[in-house]
Structures are given as structure tokens and as C-alpha cells.
Amino acid sequence: MEITRTLGRSTIEVSALGFGCWAIGGEWQNAEGQPLGWGRVDDEESVRAVRRALDLGVTFFDTADTYGAGHSERVLGRALGKRRDDVVLATKWGNVFDEDTRTLTGSDHTPAYARRALTASLARLGTDRIDLYQLHLSDLDPAYAAELRDACEEFVSEGLIRAYAWSTDDPARAAVFAEGEHCAAVQHALNVLQDAPDMLSLAEELDLASINRSPLAMGLLAGKRQGAQDAGDIRSRPPAWLQGFGDGSAADPQWLARIDALKDILTGNGRTLAQGSLAWLWARSPRTVPIPGFRSVAQAEQNAGAIEQGPLTAEQLTEINVLLER
């Protein structure tokens, strides 16, 4: 397969597979004690996993300032070290947090805060520029977002960022950011269980990259079906927006049934379930850049192994569509 993608209308080239760095941020929570991370992590293993991914051809890493209340950015920056120029770095802003207590405390949609957040992210990542800076407030009023889009254009002119995007599942909101010259992408949920045809159409129409969060459905498409999660794992007390999980962190039986129906196709040609799910995304659109999470070298190797196999065939894509319509 073509193993690189260009981020929309920019000249920024990335590997067709990116890695999402939410999980390596470790434990954090909101003010009510709701866990927002994926449980405890081993920072040294995270560093090894990032470096292994690099060795396997992954050049795009997506994080956010709030993941682990700054910890994900710090770990990623340390892992990259002198190889910073070998990768494309994406991070997000808009949430306010206490780094000492690892607590999300609110949000701030002002341009002034965007500048403060950018300065802080640059320091934590140990870099002089962010390649793709993304608004993390998915449901923000478009009028406020337009001000932040203009602020991002200023950041580009100052050399602090190269391009920007909005992390949102609403095509109308994404279109507001896309009015800016240096908007290069939209980040949105997309996996074989959660298609997003309107967003993919928008990406095609406006020349944007489609960066796919939750490409493995929070682990369900990697074969993770366990019941109770660690107390610090967001899946132990899933918030309303976390689809696929119910009370007590049990996976949704309907989702599991759909995975079972698709498993033979997704695992064909020697792929693992996770690799087949990533292959579906590449077959779905030439603009997609999935960003599966990882916490270990083994997970990094499995995810990166999908690159060599490439996308599903058009026939396999059609078979899956037929099964999902039943």
C-alpha cells in the first residue's frame, strides 16, 4: 500500500498509520473523580513503545495537553528526544487541568488561553513547533471556534505551528475551521462499527485529512472483552459519550455480536482483528489516518504490522457492508 499520507491541503507528510497517545498519559480524572485515563502505565515501557513504533515506520503521533494532565506530552517528548525532526507531532488544547493533582478542572475557549496552552505544550514536548494543533472542545459554539481558527493562523505566521484542525464529530463545525488557509484535517471517531460518511464526504470536498480516533473502538476491535477494568480506567465507569460499554464496563452485547459477524473477514490473510480493523479504515477512504492507542511494545508492533498488509479489498469492504446492514 501507499504507506504515507499528506495532511489535506498542507505539505505535511505522515505515515498512513499514526499512534494515539491518550493511554500513555496514565491516570487522570475530572473534578468529580471520574477516571479519564486508561489506568496505570509504565513510563519506561511507553518510551520503548514509541521508539519501536518509529523504527517500524510510524511517523505521526497524536496527543493532547490534557492526557494525563500533561503527562502524555512529557513522556512523548522524552521518547522522541533527538528524533523529533523524524516525526509529525499533533496535540490538542481547550481543556484546563491541574498538573499536580492530574485533574481536569474545566475548559477555556479564549484565544489568550490558546496561546498559553500552546506555549505549555511546546515546553512539555521539548520542541519549538507543533505540526498539527487541534481544538479539543468538540461541541464549541462555531462563533468562538472562528476566533480560535484566526488565532491558529497567527500561530502559523509566527512559526509556532504548521497547521491546525478541530477534533469534532460534527461536519458543520469542521467546516468552520476548514475556512482557514492552514486547516489541514479533522479528527473524528471512525471505526468499522461507527462509520462517518458525512465527515468523510466533507474531508473529500474540502481537502482535509481524516484523522480517526477510536479506530479500535476503545479496544473492542483489538479483542478486549474483559469485564471489570482497573479503577483508574475510563472504561470502569464509562461516561455517556463512551459508546460500546455499559454499566460495570461490560462491552455492549450488540457491538460484540457485530464484531463476531465481521471477524472472519477482518482476520483474513493472516491479519489480527486489530490489523483488519485498521485495514478497513484505509479501504474506506484514501484520506484516513487511524491513530490507535498503545501502552506496550507488543501493542505497538501489532498495530504497526497492519501497514505491511495494507487496506482491505473492495470485495471485502462490500462483504462487510452487507453484513452490517443485516
- The confidence score (pLDDT) of residue 23 equals 96
Q: Which three cell numbers stand for residue 149?
A: 481558527
Please list the alpha-helical segments (H only) found in the chain. 43-55, 71-80, 111-125, 142-157, 171-178, 197-206, 253-266, 273-284, 297-304, 306-309, 314-324
pLDDT at 248: 52
Can you give the pLDDT at residue 247? Answer: 57
Q: Total structural domains in the chain?
A: 1
**Residue 242: CATH number of its domain:** 3.20.20.100
Among 87, 14, 15, 5, residue whose Cα is nearest residue 51: 87
What pLDDT is stored for residue 240 in this prediction? 64
Q: Residue 60 forms beta bridges with which residues?
A: 18, 88
What is the DSSP secondary-structure string of 215-256? TTGGGGGGT---SSPPTTBGGGS--TT-TTB-GGGPBPHHHH
The pTM of this model reads 0.95
Average pLDDT, the chain: 93
On whether the CB atoms of residues 93 and 135 are closer than 8 A, the answer is: yes
From residue 135, give the alpha-carbon distance in Å to each of 109, 149, 176: 9, 9, 12
Neighbours of 164 (CB within 10 A): 27
Rounded Cα gap, residues 308 and 222, in angstroms: 18
User: Domain limits at 297?
Assistant: 4-324
Tell me which residues of the chain have a pLDDT lower than 70: 1-2, 225-231, 233-250
